[in-house]
Amino acid sequence: MTESHLLEAYLAAVGAGCGNGDKAGAKLLRGQFHDVVLLGDVAYRFPRDEESRRLLPARMALLRALRNCEMPVAIPGLLSDAAAGQPLGQCHAALQRVSGQPIESDRLAGAPAKSRMVTDLALLLD
């Protein structure tokens, strides 16, 4: 399936629940375990395999718990996980997008930058 067909299938899966009649700005990002459809202020997370689909409810419960903690970073809010029990391709969770920029790969060039990133992540998780 091409990416444009996949995006159309995902948009059909969120259907009226997306709350946005203009789907022209939708963007598909493909990850190792999930595909994410960005549409306005919402990120729709679609598991790519059965294991990820099975784990989606636990991942959303973790997000809920993290939102209740005082974290030094923004945590996406769960808007809906009503479709979490659906089959692959339809199973998804709707999350509130947080502001920020992706980490560019050139910012991680070299061992010192990678070490700094690992240290920062360890501090955050600690």
Summarize pLDDT for 1-52 with one digit per residue, the tens.
Answer: 899 899 999 999 998 445 545 677 899 999 999 999 999 999 999 999 999 9
Global pTM value: 0.79
Residue that wins the pLDDT comparison between 79 and 103 = 79
The region of weakest confidence among 10-19, 68-77, 85-94 is: 10-19
8 A C-beta contact, residue 46 and residue 91: yes
Asked if residues 91 and 60 have their Cβ atoms less than 8 Å apart, the reply is no
